[in-house]
Amino acid sequence: MEKLNEILHEKKTVKKQYLEERNHLENDFSKVQTAVRTQKQEYDKCLGKLQQDQAKLQDLKGKAKSGGKLDKAKLDHKKSMVKLHIVHNNYVLSLEEVCLHQKEYLNQTLPEFLDSHQATQEALAQQCKDFLQSFYTNTNFCSEDFCDMSKQISNSIEEIVPENHFVQFIDAFKSDPIENVTFEFDDGLISSVTGDLKADTIQLNAETHEALKTRLQSLEEEESTTKQELESKEEALKEVEDAITQLECSPKDKDNNMLLYLQKKRERHKCLLEVTETKAKLEIQSQMIKRIKESLDAAGDDMPKMLDNGDDCDVSLTSDTNQPPNSTIAKAGKPFKSLFNKFKKADGGEKSTHYEPNDVPDANHTNNAHEVNSSDVEAVLEEQEWFHGVLPREEVQRLLSKDGDFLVRESKNKRTSEVQYVLSAFWNGHKHFIIQYGEGGWRFEGDSFPSIPELVTNQYKSGTIVTAKSQCILSNPIIKEQWQLNNDDIALEMKIGNGNFGEVYKGIYKPKNQVVAIKTCRDTLSDDQRKKFLQEGRILKQYDHPNIVQFIGIAAQRQPVMIVMEYVAGGALLSYLRKHGKSQSKKQLTKMCEDAANGMAYLENKNCIHRDLAARNCLVGDNNVVKISDFGMSREEEEYTVSDGLKQIPIKWTAPEALLYGKYTSLCDVWSFGILMWEIFSGGLTPYQGMSNAQARERVDAGYRMPASEGTPNTIYNFFSLTGYRMPASEGTPNAIYNFYSLQDIECQHLREHPIPFKTFPLTGYRMPA
């Protein structure tokens, strides 16, 4: 019965493994196809923007216009052309990648996957046969009346041939062959574009050259990582094959350890599939590198400039052609004077409106800002040091602390979603004034001015009150801080993930030519969601530690709002562990734990509760340095109580007292740190395997603690379960440090030499899971 149960268990395990791996392969292929569709949609979007800018430019030329508006139209048109060329290249390369992926999927990965699963099933069929033979041999004590039946059973067992066992099954139930899908460049995309864009051809010129070189560098780094990954997986495959060969060379050992033999066969299948997948991935990367290199080599060093579709003006992409050099605030508004004769008289436009922080505009009130070309207004305002873009009210109020402080921001009318411009100031509390536009220009309650910068400058220099009701006087403009970046200085290059509030990209911070990671905020989010998005940046910008991801800035001059951070090439720790965890030494894994603890100790000293510490929210940098990331749930308090239940709470990583009472302290992060250590030493497995969140919570409340994962040293398990032998403390050692590093095994020598200052670790009172 024990052997029979083992066989049944193996059958279930193999079936589950088949479904998981098949879904994994199909999802990978689906992602590449989705990327092509996304690139095509982006292409459509860029074409629409180019056509708008082209029409605007031709209209101004037809009216013989000159000056700032024409220069800006030329600049916008040129930017649209550059963006289109870059997106064109991305689309061409994504088509190349999906074709390569399909070829490898159908010719290599999928056949290997099916063949090895069939071999696994045949091995199980052989085991079934051996079991039946054993059963027959040990129960063949029949009387003569049943000898014929016994003989029939024996003959039936002999007829079992595992290699032929599934032939009829496969013939009857196999799925239809997967046919090649044709992925072709949509010629309709470029039918309306004049110039030298060609289907399936990389467009190389001075404007796209740098983006392609960056893409090539990124691919070469990925190729190098994949080669190392392949070597590691081939070595693991060889070890498994050697173990199988050793068992097969000794039939007696094989029979006595049949379960081990079947597990090794299944492990061999998994390793073989991983090797095949990695080879396919490497081949795709190599072909993509080859394609980009051929294009770059063909062009040589002499990069042609992009032709601007008949535009006779050479426009620089880096200079601002809207304004002359050394322009003042007053001069910055002059290009708007020609706009004013286009506006209808606004109902109530001569009346200035003052809103207290929680006021809602009256339904009959109209701001009339929508009648102004908001992009033109933004172009001028973005040059002003006191304009803070779309930074939300809550974030702005943090910058205004004493009477006279003021800045200008962009907002939206909650009822109509129209763009409006707001003067935010501090005068006996926070005040917010919607800047009105009427027939005579922009105003509060006094005179009108042709531009917002002129209005604000006059208000500031004259010292007059903004409104009679508020008595507010502007005396101290709050200029943008170093962390407040310009959106134009950020170049998005490649999507690398998804966040709770938008997408995550790899890109370039142009002023420093620095590779960065960029979190974007969807402009469809509510004010509350945008507030939560920016909270992460506001928290992160205060910290500077080698084990905390480095904050660079927030770009909020316009939508989309972006948080810019250092780009950590190794990616998420969880992915790294699942790929390379088993090949890391115990010392290397221990060093990762130390890095995480050092980062968390720093946060604790800053009174920051992370609340979402897990391998998925850590990054792996150079030399395998671990950095804490993802501060979306963090709070800067010694104790924080949740008010919205357990929504989006990571149950398996959260301390019991937080789940029971909703109260968080740094002690809760310590519990999460114990789970993180278990993830590190388990190679990235999911905690509480086979349990739902509810089951895991119930078991933990009942006293259950996860056992150590395979290969975890006892002292490491004792280390984060706070048990085991403890050496006496040396003279002068603080109790907290002693409780933390007083371990007695060579595996923890590194920790004893570099004690981790996560001081609350031994104070939790919990037995930490391995």
CATH of the domain at 396: 3.30.505.10
Per the annotation, does 360 bind a ligand?
A: no
Residues 91 and 33 in one domain: yes
Q: What's the rounded Cα separation, in Å, for the pair 337 and 330?
A: 12
Q: Return d(Cα 347, Cα 349) in angstroms, integer.
A: 5
142 plus 111 within the same structural domain: yes
Q: What's the pLDDT at 309? A: 43
User: Is 165 inside a domain boundary?
Assistant: no
Query: Which structure tokens are listed for 378?
Result: 């933004």
Whole-number pLDDT of residue 114: 87
Domain co-membership, 615 together with 752: yes
- Regarding whether 457 and 502 lie in a shared domain, the answer is no
Q: Is 92 annotated as a binding residue?
A: no
48 is in an annotated binding site: no
Query: If 0-12 CB within 10 Å is exposed, 13-18 middle and 19+ buried, where does residue 169 land?
Result: exposed
Is 500 annotated among the ligand-binding residues? yes
Does the annotation flag 329 for ligand binding?
no
Residue 765 annotated as binding site: no
> In this structure, are 506 and 456 located in the same domain?
no
Give the C-alpha separation, 543 to 693, whole Å: 33
What is residue 197's three-state secondary structure? coil
Rounding to the nearest 10 degrees, give the CA dihedral for residues 304, 310, 311, 316: -10
Task: Tell me: do 383 and 438 sit in the same domain.
Answer: yes
Average pLDDT over residues 234-252: 82
- Claim to verify: residue 220 and residue 201 sit in the same structural domain: yes
Judge whether 275 lies within some domain. yes
Taking only Cα atoms into account, the Rg of the chain, rounded to an integer number of angstroms, comes to 33
The answer to whether residue 166 sits within a structural domain is no
pLDDT digits (tens, 9 = 90+) for 264-307: 887 888 888 888 889 988 988 888 888 888 887 776 655 555 54
Give the CATH number of the domain where residue 541 resides.
Answer: 3.30.200.20
Residue 752 structural domain: 573-763
508 is known to lie in a ligand binding site? no
**What is d(CA 470, CA 266) in angstroms, rounded to the nearest whole number?**
76
Q: Nearest to residue 396, comparing CAs of 282, 592, 530?
A: 530
- Flag whether 294 is marked binding: no
> Is residue 257 domain-resident?
yes
pLDDT digits (tens, 9 = 90+) for 734-761: 555 544 443 333 333 434 444 443 433 3
Domain ends where: 513, 546, 566?
Answer: 566
**Number of domains present in the structure of the chain:** 4
Q: Is the pLDDT of residue 209 over 90?
A: no
Per the annotation, does 193 bind a ligand? no
The residue ranking higher by pLDDT, 685 or 726, is 685
Q: Are residues 524 and 644 in the same domain?
A: no
Same domain? For 686 and 610 the reply is yes
**Residue 41 falls within a domain, yes or no?**
yes
Mind giving me the DSSP string for 290-324? HHHHHHHHHHTT-PPPPP-TT--S---SSS-TTS-
* 612 catalytic residue (yes or no): yes
* Residue 103 clears pLDDT 50, i.e. is over it: yes
438 assigned to a ligand binding site: no
- 521, 539, 566: which is the final residue of a domain? 566
pLDDT beyond 50 at 557: yes
- Determine the straight-line distance between the first and last CA of the chain, rounded to whole angstroms: 33
Exactly one of 76, 308, 595, 612 is catalytic; name it.
612
Looking at the domain assignment, is residue 499 inside a domain? yes
Question: What is the chain's length?
Answer: 770
Query: By C-alpha distance, which of 603, 599, 592 is closest to 570?
Result: 592
Q: Is 141 exposed, middle or buried (0-12, 13-18, 19+ CB in 10 A)?
A: exposed
Last residue of a domain, one of 477, 496, 525: 477
Q: Quick check: 106 and 178 in contact, CB under 8 A?
A: yes
Give the integer Cα–Cα distance in Å for 663 and 660. 8
Is 0.75 topped by the overall pTM?
no
584, 658: one domain: yes
Distance of CA 238 to the CA centre of its chain: 35
Is the domain of 467 the same as that of 494?
no
Of residues 386, 564, 563, 556, the one with CA closest to residue 480: 386
* Residue whose tokens read 């005579």: 440
Q: Give domain status of residue 74, yes or no.
A: yes
- Number of other CB atoms surrounding residue 299 within 10 Å: 16
Q: Does residue 584 sit in the same domain as residue 696?
A: yes
Beta strands in 650-729 (DSSP E): 663-664
The answer to whether residue 472 sits within a structural domain is: yes
